[in-house]
Chain A
Amino acid sequence: MEIGGFDSQIIQDFLTESGELLEQLEGDLVTLEQACDDLDLINTIFRALHTIKGSASFLALTPLVAIAHASETTLNAARSGQLAITPSVMDDLLAAIDALRTQFDELNKGTTNLTEADPKLVKRLTDLGSGTIAEFEDDAATATSAQSVVSAGGITVEPLNLPDNKAALLEFLVADVQQSIGHLRDLAKKLDGGDEAAFNELAGIASELCKAVDFFDFQDMADLAHAIQEAGENGVQNLSAAFDQFIPRFHTSLHILDDQAKALAEGRRHVWNVQTLCERIQTLVDGVALPEDAILPEGASIDLTLRVDELIPDSTDPQAEPAATPSTQIAADAGSPDEAQPVEDASDESNPKPASGKKTEAKDAAGKPVVEQTVRVEVGRLETLMNLVGELVLQKNRIGALARQADDALKGAANDELSEHLLTSSAALDRVAGDIQVAVMRTRMQPLDKLFGKYPRLIRDLAGKTGKKIKLVVEGGDTEVDKSVIEELGDPLVHILRNSADHGVEMPDVRKAAGKPEEGTIRLTASHEGSFVQVVIADDGKGLDRAVIGAKAVERGLTTEAELATKTDSEIFRYIFEAGFSTATQVSDLSGRGVGMDVVRTNIEKLKGTITIDSEKGQGTTLTIAIPLTIAIMQAMMVRVGPERYAVPLSNIVEIVRPTPEQLTTIREHPVMRLRNDVLPLIQANTIFDVPQERREEAPFAVVLQSGHRRLGLMVSELIGQREIVVKPLGDMHDAPSAVSGATVREDGGVSLIVDVIELFRIAKGRGF
């Protein structure tokens, strides 16, 4: 696949990187709505959009650039304080994100012709930001008057020849450059006013400028922009010391860039000889003294700077400093390292990295977070690695067993030293293999933020639709879980949150009448609890009604009035996880709770997790989900069924009993077992797993399994013991529904199948239980 002359790999990289930014953007935008004046956040959002736009313009994805640019314009107005982020502005911004996402989806499908975003939206966004644009026009006007002073010579004017794909984006990019220049001018003003703290913002703004300038691939512009960026990243300390030498050059650089941007806008190209200027800025950044002939008098004008830095011919010499004699110049050079030394020392104290550090260093000078060092790896490779590690662990166990055998066999023999070494070595192998296993598992872990980031938008939209006021508080998004868990957890969480917003949180007037704050709160919290991750979704809505749910459960024949009285609230609330418990008519009775909650429960159980529910009428509902960190490894009870060994997930096992003949009976010809107050359907593992008749054995043990509030007994021949097993998928190689969900490799190298508990319950249900 080729898109606009770029191969699919570049597009793919763009999608991956920008896709992540887009997700982040959405979450940040919703957060921004709550904290309109958070300038840092606006800047973060702005930068993310800007990066997307920059990459998109490199790929000549014009429709994408158009909408990104429009949103950026709006945000720019917001960040300069000219525009308040009202809900309607936010709606437009979110609509823009949706448009971007549509375009991303199209790219993903390999389409080149991206859908243009709604022109009305683009116009609205552009209009919202127009205040800012006007400001730049003012700036441009003053700059023009300044320019007339120096346009006499030194620059070469060339016609502008851009390839079509770039030409289409020229307008945007020029606007970008001018916008960045505008910001830099503001910064320069602050610096002029003696506010040296403004230096800290330099790197951030300069890097935006660089991105815009890099697009054109014009050497002089790029050199200049990068020189400024370098100054912002690495030169803050040194530049404070050489303030009077840097500031005029900074103004001059902006002047040149502005001139070039304006020329570009008019379809011309102004080439400036910026080499000397860039070199001198770099010298200042490095904390080295300038040669004497390059030293500017205090308050030097742009015109003078242009002359001194050889940007225009030095026809009217007298204004410049008298040229240094060769001898003094040498003296200055020789002295420079010494002079520079104290400056560098000073910078070392406040900042651990050398002030003359190179560009590759993290940009913490500008107060930005240090970028994490990451490598993208295909999931397939990690899976291969996991497989190999599983095999390694297996072989390690075998060697351990063999070493112990050898130790026993060689006890007292002449060479028992050998077996001792073998034992020591196998113990070391054991540790290393264990560590590798943990390390590999960790590579598959991802923060839950990947999911949680999407939910503020979900809640915002739901609140908008229902007219409720809802605040979503997210905590613990940095909790890491296995990638597969993230994938499986998404849907259930959406379901639960939707339920909480839809049916849990009341309308503002109802809440007010009940003496609660008008704005409802849904709290989404994640935390590690041992080898489990716990996700709690709590709302302060109207809660569940025990009486109503209990009555419904009796009506549906799930329980009896007598039993109901003995049950705890939690046990009764569990009925909402029953399939079909909340049909349309019941929704109103049950205040709607429970729509699709059986799906939630099934998904959580698939992850070998549990879900519990607590609620207090009028106070709210709390759902607690506990899921193993990974579903690749789980705790299981190994059981024997005739000659075969099966693994039963421990998370589903309630207890294991050996029923007496009195406990066993049948209902409608199906075997059941009485266990205390319950009657459990029994499933013969021999039958369900088709064990050949001649190899069947008695199965006296009942493994009591639970799914939702249902229980059943699986009859097996023998209990072998609890094991930690590595789950390997088996897929569906059966015609009939089968109660096997996967396979695992045992310590002895053989394969055991894993019992699919959910399927067992389905089978039991098919029999009328």
Chain B
Amino acid sequence: MTSMMSQPMTEGRLVDESLQLVTFEVASEEFAVDILAVHEINRMMELTRVPQAPREIEGVINLRGKIIPVMDLRKRFGLPHRERDEQTRIIVVEVSSRVIGFIVDRVRQVLPISRSIVEPAPDMVATIDSQFISGVGKLPDRLLILLDLDRLLNGALMDSVDKLADSTGTN
């Protein structure tokens, strides 16, 4: 998935290939990640706060005996907090062999799209910093923001997730 999502998408070169995406909403924007990166999607579950953890890490959950860190995408994007509701989901993904959960407002659908409709990210998409975006999928009726999971988890945060993943044996 890393290669697909993080490579700059050149129009025309990979026309024939299609992408299977899981799409979800955060703050009324529709985002998408490659389905191959997604392990599972869970309803909101009890989170245990970890003292002194990075701000974006909401806490840890028990995923069938494994302790997994969970990140709030709203916090990561610097968006205002929203109360969790029936629609709130935790998407568990594997990024560079690290397992982490994302809290999203709601999950929409699994969507196959052709690579040909994916365009490079513009400098700014809505309120999201373009560094997290690997491309924009132009559907007839709406826009999909394709997330770059690697970069979403980069920097100091990634290091801490890395350590966490190492120690919990998710590697």
A 356-388 contacts with B by CB, 8 A: 380, 383-384, 387-388
> Are B65 and A644 closer than 8 Å at their CB atoms?
no
**Nearest chain A CB to B67 CB, angstrom units:** 5
From B52, B67, B161, A734 is in contact (CB under 8 Å) with: B52
B80 beta carbon closer than 8 Å to chain A: no
Q: Which of chain A's residues have a CB closer than 8 A to the CB of B49?
A: 644, 690
**Nearest chain A CB to B160 CB, angstrom units:** 4
Q: Which of chain B's residues have a CB closer than 8 A to the CB of A739?
A: 51
**Nearest chain A CB to B44 CB, angstrom units:** 13
Q: Which of chain A's residues have a CB closer than 8 A to the CB of B59?
A: 751
> Are A736 and B52 closer than 8 Å at their CB atoms?
yes
Complex Cα spacing A750 to B48, Å? 8
From A387, A740, A745, B169 is in contact (CB under 8 Å) with: A387
> Are A731 and B51 closer than 8 Å at their CB atoms?
no
The closest CB in chain B to the CB of A689 belongs to: B51
B38 beta carbon closer than 8 Å to chain A: no
Q: Which of chain B's residues have a CB closer than 8 A to the CB of A753?
A: 48, 50-51
The 0/1 profile, CB within 8 Å of B marked 1, for residues 715-749 of chain A is 00000000000001111111111111001010001
Q: Which of chain A's residues have a CB closer than 8 A to the CB of B46?
A: 749-751
B167 beta carbon closer than 8 Å to chain A: yes
The 0/1 profile, CB within 8 Å of A marked 1, for residues 41-81 of chain B is 00000101111111001011110111101000000000000
**Nearest chain A CB to B152 CB, angstrom units:** 16
Q: Which of chain B's residues have a CB closer than 8 A to the CB of A750?
A: 46, 48, 62
Complex Cα spacing A394 to B62, Å? 11
Complex Cα spacing A380 to B54, Å? 29
B40 beta carbon closer than 8 Å to chain A: no
From B61, B62, B64, B167, A730 is in contact (CB under 8 Å) with: B167
> Are B52 and A751 closer than 8 Å at their CB atoms?
no
Complex Cα spacing A376 to B59, Å? 37
A391 beta carbon closer than 8 Å to chain B: yes
> Are A690 and B60 closer than 8 Å at their CB atoms?
no
Q: Which of chain B's residues have a CB closer than 8 A to the CB of A745?
A: 62, 65, 67
**Nearest chain B CB to A32 CB, angstrom units:** 42
The closest CB in chain B to the CB of A743 belongs to: B67
> Are B169 and A733 closer than 8 Å at their CB atoms?
no
A55 beta carbon closer than 8 Å to chain B: no
The closest CB in chain B to the CB of A736 belongs to: B52
Q: Which of chain A's residues have a CB closer than 8 A to the CB of B60?
A: 730, 743, 751
The 0/1 profile, CB within 8 Å of A marked 1, for residues 14-55 of chain B is 000000000000000000000000000000001011111110
Complex Cα spacing A738 to B163, Å? 15
From B48, B161, B166, A644 is in contact (CB under 8 Å) with: B48
Q: Which of chain B's residues have a CB closer than 8 A to the CB of A388?
A: 65
> Are B160 and A728 closer than 8 Å at their CB atoms?
no
**Nearest chain B CB to A683 CB, angstrom units:** 13
The closest CB in chain A to the CB of B57 belongs to: A733
> Are B52 and A387 closer than 8 Å at their CB atoms?
no
**Nearest chain A CB to B162 CB, angstrom units:** 9
B164 beta carbon closer than 8 Å to chain A: yes
A688 beta carbon closer than 8 Å to chain B: yes
> Are A734 and B53 closer than 8 Å at their CB atoms?
yes
A 638-667 contacts with B by CB, 8 A: 644
The dominant DSSP class at the B interface is: mixed
A 425-458 contacts with B by CB, 8 A: none
> Are A690 and B52 closer than 8 Å at their CB atoms?
yes
Number of interface residues of A (CB under 8 A): 32
The closest CB in chain A to the CB of B167 belongs to: A731
Complex Cα spacing A394 to B167, Å? 21
Q: Which of chain A's residues have a CB closer than 8 A to the CB of B65?
A: 387-388, 390-391, 394, 728, 745
Complex Cα spacing A124 to B110, Å? 75
A525 beta carbon closer than 8 Å to chain B: no
Given contacts A390-B65, A391-B65, A743-B60, contact A731 B48 (CB under 8 A): no
**Nearest chain A CB to B89 CB, angstrom units:** 18
Q: Which of chain A's residues have a CB closer than 8 A to the CB of B97?
A: none
**Nearest chain B CB to A567 CB, angstrom units:** 36
**Nearest chain A CB to B98 CB, angstrom units:** 11
A752 beta carbon closer than 8 Å to chain B: yes
From B48, B62, B160, A733 is in contact (CB under 8 Å) with: B160
Complex Cα spacing A383 to B163, Å? 17
Given contacts A729-B168, A730-B164, A743-B67, contact A751 B62 (CB under 8 A): yes
Complex Cα spacing A434 to B54, Å? 38
> Are A733 and B161 closer than 8 Å at their CB atoms?
yes
**Nearest chain B CB to A421 CB, angstrom units:** 27
Q: Which of chain A's residues have a CB closer than 8 A to the CB of B52?
A: 690, 734-738
The closest CB in chain B to the CB of A737 belongs to: B52
> Are A728 and B53 closer than 8 Å at their CB atoms?
no
Complex Cα spacing A11 to B91, Å? 43
> Are A743 and B64 closer than 8 Å at their CB atoms?
no
Q: List 16 A-B contacts (CB under 8 A).
A: A383-B169, A690-B52, A728-B65, A729-B167, A729-B169, A730-B60, A730-B67, A731-B163, A731-B164, A732-B167, A735-B160, A740-B50, A743-B48, A745-B62, A745-B67, A751-B61
18 additional contacts (CB under 8 A) given A729-B169, A730-B67, A735-B156: A380-B169, A383-B169, A388-B65, A644-B48, A689-B51, A690-B52, A728-B168, A731-B163, A733-B163, A734-B51, A734-B53, A735-B52, A740-B51, A745-B62, A750-B46, A751-B48, A753-B48, A753-B50
- The interface of chain A, by Cβ under 8 A from chain B, is 380, 383-384, 387-388, 390-391, 394, 644, 688-690, 728-740, 743, 745, 749-753
- The interface of chain B, by Cβ under 8 A from chain A, is 46, 48-54, 57, 59-62, 64-67, 69, 156, 160-161, 163-169
